């Protein structure tokens, strides 16, 4: 089904809209967002890994809020929602840099 080389293209999974999941769980459990956000991340990653075929289970999974990445005015409370946004940006920049050096 899937080629193991993917034509030499790095493959990762990015799940956005984590802010909605954090808000929902925080409201449902009546807990602060900071207390539930890592549980939300773990639940999302676990769910994705369970659905992946065996040859893709080792791929990185980034859980982000696309609103947070695009929030240049700083309107969102980063502490409440930030999960893997910084790691995703670093991964993209580093991967692009490595591929250009070849």
Judge if pTM exceeds 0.85: no
Q: What is the pLDDT of residue 41?
A: 97
- DSSP secondary structure letters along 30-74: T--HHHHHHHHHHHHHHHHHHHS-GGGTTS-EEE--HHHHT-TT-
Average pLDDT, consecutive stretches of 10 residues, N- to C-terminus, the chain (102 residues)? 58 93 96 95 96 91 87 72 92 88 66
Residues in the chain: 102
Q: What is the pLDDT of residue 70?
A: 74
d(CA 11, CA 5): 10
d(CA 88, CA 68): 12
């Amino acid at each position: 089904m899937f080629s193991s080389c993917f034509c030499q293209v790095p493959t990762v999974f990015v799940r956005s809209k984590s802010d909605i999941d954090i808000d929902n769980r925080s409201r449902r459990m009546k807990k602060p967002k900071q207390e539930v956000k890592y549980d939300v991340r773990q639940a999302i990653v676990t769910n994705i890994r369970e659905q992946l075929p065996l040859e893709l289970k080792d791929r990185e999974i980034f859980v982000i809020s696309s609103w947070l990445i695009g929030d240049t005015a700083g309107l969102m409370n980063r502490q409440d929602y930030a999960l893997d946004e910084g790691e995703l940006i670093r991964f993209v920049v580093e991967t692009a840099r490595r591929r250009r050096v070849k």
